[in-house]
Amino acid sequence: MRWLAVLVLACALQSSVLAAPQVEIKAQTQLSLGSVRLRGDGTVEVKGQLIDKLTSEGLGNQFVTVKVGSQVRQTYTDEDGRFRATLAGEAGQQPVALEFKGTTLLDRAEPVSIMTDPSRAQVSLTIRAEVSAAGASLVVTSTIDDQPVPLPVGLSIGSPGDSEMRNLQVIETGAPFLLTRAAAGGAGSRRVRATFVGDETRQPASADATIELSTTTTTTMKVAAAQLAYEDSIVATGRVVDQDGKPIARAAVSLSAGDRRLSQGATGADGTYRFEVEAEILGKGQFGIYVASDPGTSYIRPSKSAPSIIQIAAPQPVPVSYTIAAFLATALAAGGFFLARSKPWLRFRKAAPPADVPENEREAEGVEGGLVVAKPGLVSTLRRPQDDGFSGVVRDTVRARPVADAIIRLVLGVERRELRTGADGSFVIEGLPLGEWRAEVTAPGHVTEQFAVTIPHRGELRGVRVDLVPVRERVFQLYRRAAEPLLPEPRLWGIWSPRQIVDHVRSRHPRPALAELTDFVEEVYFSARVAPETVLPGASERVDRAIHERTRVAS
């Protein structure tokens, strides 16, 4: 019995050590009090809302505890997160409190507690905003029993995800107030709140609104020299600033001559950039060059610099004696170190299998999946096929990373083999019967690949690489057919990021089918959730509808 107790204790300790830590991430919640009103039947009606603190969306079917004085009641929220509770009460100052204790998926909300008199009039505030070049014109409206009443309200501002907001000033309701970008802290999305603190006859109230302040940019350019020799370099420097003179950091900039792009880069933290391009790229003649900038955000607009004219002289001939001397010097140097540098004997060495090629040495292969077989050695090609194994690695074709737990199925008649890849994406299958096997490789979030495996072989199926295309990349490939015609130039598809492309399509106010397709692509491509392969048929149908819609309108 003593040995049995020791064994049980050891197993318990081992399981506690090996158990993986459990991490729970809960959504943060926020309670807001709408109104507290004394009704004629001697009851107090309390209204409010429970929202997700990050997205501001209502949280439905949740228990909220409402307390008025000594009376307590629990009530359910509706689909929009709004709730309403009726408790026994009377006129006079008394505490009103709201509490949400949280659930397994929702975090506890910060309790709300105020002192108020339910018999005071209920105030309703609304914010109307009109964005202009100078900023945003705000008009706060206050009503009591649906009748407008002028009141002093305090304005505060912050980012959509901020828990605390910065006070601006006190304004009178009904009068327009100009919110400049400087007062708001720059361009971007901002949350504005209007608050009435209440008085002896009226209850406190507040209202929120989200606005987006946009700004234009100015791109300047200066060339180091307007007259250049053929062998010189074109040097262009400049800066990108917004409408208020603030530098735009990390904006994409490109140097172009007409429709020809010469170079591209990004601005520094101070909004400056510098290009240096060989003049011989353009050749002899007179050219107009300019710099275009794109900050890559919806609220900061791109711009171009004023063009500058440069003159490039004709190339100067090199004396024949210089050419012969340089050629002889090069030939002597190459002859002295040719064998040591080139190592021609390495040409006969067998190339590394595709599965062993490091990620940083792989060439850009686009987003096409499939089987990449190994190249058998010279000696192997002279022998009869005799290898009955299949091994290699499964990788993500976009990021060149191994895909763990990918399922590999091989079928030959009634014969079936199945296994999963390891943490490094590798797999090995030995002793396969002769014949042409049908192979299928699947993994969550990736497009299934199918191909044939012929056994026996000469070594080409050892160290293979199976490339799987992510579903989100395939969806974005399909999206190109519908979205590319809306770009300023088709070649921008390979230059702009997916985020820039989606934002640009939205800015063009697309028709219903393309708008629905763009929302679908937004969810599949940018969401943290892994998209299943089953979304591809629906994506193709949405693309066809968007193209048909555009064709019908054009005709």
pLDDT tens digits for range 159-196: 877 778 889 889 898 889 888 888 888 888 888 899 98
pLDDT tens readout for residues 477-524: 999 999 998 898 888 888 899 999 999 999 988 889 899 999 999 888
Domain of 70: which CATH number?
A: 2.60.40.10
**Greater model confidence, 112 or 89:** 112
Q: Are residues 413 and 448 in the same domain?
A: yes
pLDDT of residue 9: 54
Residue 373 lies in a domain: yes
Q: Are residues 172 and 275 in the same domain?
A: no
Domain final residue, candidates 408, 441, 466: 466
pLDDT of residue 17: 45
Total domains present in the chain: 5
Residue 323 lies in a domain: no
Q: Are residues 205 and 277 in the same domain?
A: no
Q: Are residues 246 and 298 in the same domain?
A: yes
Q: Rounded to the nearest 10 degrees, what angle do helices 512-526 and 535-554 cross at?
A: 150
Distance (Å) of CA 353 to CA 144, 438, 462, 469 = 78, 22, 8, 21
Range of the domain at 49: 29-116
pLDDT of residue 438: 95
pLDDT tens readout for residues 392-412: 999 998 888 899 999 999 999
Residue 413 lies in a domain: yes
pLDDT of residue 40: 75
Q: Are residues 152 and 186 in the same domain?
A: yes
pLDDT tens readout for residues 241-282: 988 888 989 889 999 988 888 888 899 999 999 999 888 888
51-55, 377-381, 425-429, 483-487: range with lowest mean pLDDT:
377-381
Does the pLDDT of residue 363 top 50, yes or no? no
- Cβ-Cβ contacts under 8 Å for 293 (sequence gap 6 or more): 217, 219, 240, 248, 251, 252, 253, 267, 302, 303, 304
Sorting pLDDT into bands at 50, 70 and 90, what band is 421? very high
* Overall pTM surpassing 0.75 (yes/no): no
pLDDT of residue 273: 94
Q: Are residues 201 and 230 in the same domain?
A: no
DSSP state of 281: G
- Cβ-Cβ contacts under 8 Å for 292 (sequence gap 6 or more): 219, 253, 254, 256, 302, 303, 304, 305
Residue 417 lies in a domain: yes
Residue 426 lies in a domain: yes
Sorting pLDDT into bands at 50, 70 and 90, what band is 345? low
Residue 16 lies in a domain: no
Calculate mean pLDDT across residues 320-337: 72
> Measured between alpha carbons, how far is 423 from 479 in angstroms, rounded to an integer?
32
Residue 506 lies in a domain: yes
**Greater model confidence, 90 or 389:** 389
Q: Are residues 459 and 360 in the same domain?
A: yes
Q: Are residues 230 and 258 in the same domain?
A: yes
Q: Are residues 136 and 223 in the same domain?
A: no
Q: Are residues 58 and 153 in the same domain?
A: no
Residue 462 lies in a domain: yes
pLDDT tens readout for residues 108-154: 988 988 888 887 888 888 898 888 777 888 899 988 877 898 989 99
pLDDT of residue 21: 52
Does the pLDDT of residue 350 top 60, yes or no? no
Q: Are residues 134 and 161 in the same domain?
A: yes
Does the pLDDT of residue 369 top 50, yes or no? yes
Share of the chain above pLDDT 90, in %: 32
Calculate mean pLDDT across residues 60-75: 90
Domain final residue, candidates 153, 185, 213: 213
Find, among 449, 427, 425, 422, the residue nearest to 438 by Cα. 449
Domain final residue, candidates 116, 142, 167: 116
Q: Are residues 374 and 454 in the same domain?
A: yes
